[in-house]
Structure 1
Amino acid sequence: MIDELAGKVAVVTGGASGIGRATVAKLVAEGAKVVMGDLDPERGAEAIAEHGDAAVFMQTDVSDPAQVERLVEHAVATFGGLHVMCNNAGIPGKMHPSLLLDDLADFHRVLGVNLLGVMAGTKFAARHMAEHGGGSIINVSSVGGVMAGGGVQTYRASKAAVIHFTKSAAIELAQYDIRVNCLAPGNIPTPLLTTSAAGMPPDKVERFAKAVRASMNSERPLPREGEPEHVADAVVYLAGDRSVYVTGTVLAIDGGTTAGKPLKPRKKPEEGKSAEQNSAAQAAVSKN
């Protein structure tokens, strides 16, 4: 659609790279004015440079609720309102070889960014929206918050909490015509994966990232690779008027990963053979 979000003002946290950067670009392309919050001023300034006066940057640490409040106030003061809040900022925490070896040293930082940042963004955005006709709040979780698994336990716990908080907030804020929904991306190439391996030698980080990607690809039913833009498209949908009857939902953008394991490739039916013969051939493939 063209200019689907014309006249709307949005805030995107963690907007300087990855999913956040793609989201800012999509929102601007659909006519929205955007305030990007991110901890990295250099990448933030670079990310908004291509959007002219349709986007502005404000350095923000979302683990500090006071800074999140100022980010929301800045959006209202700069563009005259706030209709969409995308709480996207997130960090992975440090990868450990085992939960038994995890010192939990980064627990408070991970929960501060991934959960407290989402809660603060929802709260301060909703305060404005409740007095100005409602709006849409979109919280970015992860398939790691939907599916259990080994590794980065603090990250998984924080993302699971985002999902439950989103549903609870959706119930409470519906009376103000505020919709609160959650996205659960999976296997999207972003800097998060390599960040979790910080401390490894560069060559090991690259091998580690490739191995994890290969493992995730093998567990995804759809053969195509996910991209940040695929998540950004979902943000546009939840931000606009097409989703006015959608709240409290969790949308997985993961190529079917959370649905189940992929099947082995099926053999195409051969012309000239009966249905029974083709079925027997497929059964033979399934056994192998």
Structure 2
Amino acid sequence: MTELAGKVAIITGGSSGIGRGIAERFAAEGAAVVIADVRDEDGEDLVAELTSAGGTAHFRHTDVGDQAQVRELVETTVSAFGGLHVMVNNAGISSPLRKGLFHEDLEEFDRVMRVNLLGVMAGTRDAARHMAEHGGGSVINLGSIGGIQAGGGVSTYRASKAAIIHFTKCAAIELAHYEVRVNCIAPGNIPTPILASSATAEDRERLERFEARIRAQMRDDRPLKREGTADDVAEAALYLATDRSRYVTGIVLPVDGGTVAGKVIVRKPAAERPSP
């Protein structure tokens, strides 16, 4: 398990959920991992776990919605570890749940777009500036199947993820000349704390009911019936981070059990089918 031996990787939003899964997988493969997040205690705890298991890890408090902090993250990583080979722009937040578009006041628009989209754009730019002068590298942006498939609810979040997908393709074209590969992973139906973090106390019960209903619907629509995990996304990220994907750039890789491929066709038992 040394596919990333000698490599340096940054994972934003790396203290929990999908980011944590990627950080754990990269560290297990020998990478020096820098976990960037605003959740200091969780981040430091993860670093302690990874280092106690023999890995190399460092935590840096970073709000990816602040371009100066993203630039400092890249600079301090290069200074501390001597380089940067993989940038995983994973940090993200959800827009609040509303009863419908007519009830949406869009007051969270700037914050969601700043974290979800600006954070990805700044992270890609600043990482690529270093990679372009040092033989290339891999940038992995985390989108969502919500940016591929239209649907009702959390419209600002969906819009931010759709923008990430388009930006990824644009950056891949521009940076290919420098051997910097830029790809996007679009997870779907992976249980993470992102929705819960957007709810107010009075919304918590409604959120739990909403999540249960949505996840049940997604299970029904998903061709693969087993539940997806952060580890599944981490495996996809590992592929895109290594030389196994050296001829791959500008792709959007859904990790969703086949959800975006199409809805499941429910077939009746043979006894109930009409005769031909």
Q: Does 1:194 align with 2:196?
A: yes
Whether the aligned pair in 2 keeps the contact of 1:194 and 1:209 (CA below 8 Å) is no
**Aligned match of 2:183:** 181
- Give the CA deviation at 1:170: 0.1
**Aligned match of 2:132:** 130
- The one-letter code sitting in structure 1 at the alignment partner of 2:39 is D
**Aligned match of 1:157:** 159
Whether the aligned pair in 2 keeps the contact of 1:36 and 1:56 (CA below 8 Å) is yes
Q: Could you tell me the TM-score, scaled by structure 2's length?
A: 0.95
**Aligned match of 2:259:** 257
In structure 2, relative to structure 1, the CA distance for the partners of 1:69 and 1:95 (3 Å cut) is: same
Q: Does 1:170 align with 2:172?
A: yes
Give CA-to-partner distance per residue, 1:29-49, whole Å, 9 cap, x none.
Answer: 011001110011111111221
Give CA-to-partner distance per residue, 1:18-63, whole Å, 9 cap, x none.
Answer: 0000000000001100111001111111122111161100000000
What does 1:191-270 correspond to in 2, within 5 Å?
191-264=193-266, 267=269
- Give the CA deviation at 1:148: 0.4
Alpha-carbon distance between aligned partners in 2 of 1:66 and 1:284, rounded to the nearest angstrom? 66
**Aligned match of 2:24:** 25
Give CA-to-partner distance per residue, 1:195-229, whole Å, 9 cap, x none.
Answer: 34334354333322212211221221111100011
Alpha-carbon distance between aligned partners in 1 of 2:105 and 2:244, rounded to the nearest angstrom? 45
- The one-letter code sitting in structure 2 at the alignment partner of 1:60 is T
Q: Does 1:34 align with 2:22?
A: no
Q: Does 1:283 align with 2:273?
A: yes
Total equivalences in the alignment: 272
**Aligned match of 1:107:** 109
What secondary structure does 1:104 align onto? coil
What secondary structure does 1:252 align onto? strand
**Aligned match of 2:48:** 49
What secondary structure does 2:87 align onto? strand
Alpha-carbon distance between aligned partners in 1 of 2:200 and 2:268, rounded to the nearest angstrom? 40
- The one-letter code sitting in structure 1 at the alignment partner of 2:247 is Y
What secondary structure does 2:253 align onto? strand
- The one-letter code sitting in structure 2 at the alignment partner of 1:235 is A
Structure 2 gaps, min length 5: none
RMSD: 1.5
**Aligned match of 1:274:** none
Larger displacement relative to structure 2 (44-53 or 106-115):
44-53
- The one-letter code sitting in structure 2 at the alignment partner of 1:54 is T
**Aligned match of 1:4:** 3
**Aligned match of 1:271:** none
Larger Rg: 1
What secondary structure does 1:187 align onto? coil
Q: 1:117 pairs with 112, 116, 119, which one?
A: 119
Alpha-carbon distance between aligned partners in 1 of 2:199 and 2:250, rounded to the nearest angstrom? 33
Whether the aligned pair in 1 keeps the contact of 2:185 and 2:255 (CA below 8 Å) is yes
Q: Could you tell me the TM-score, scaled by structure 1's length?
A: 0.91
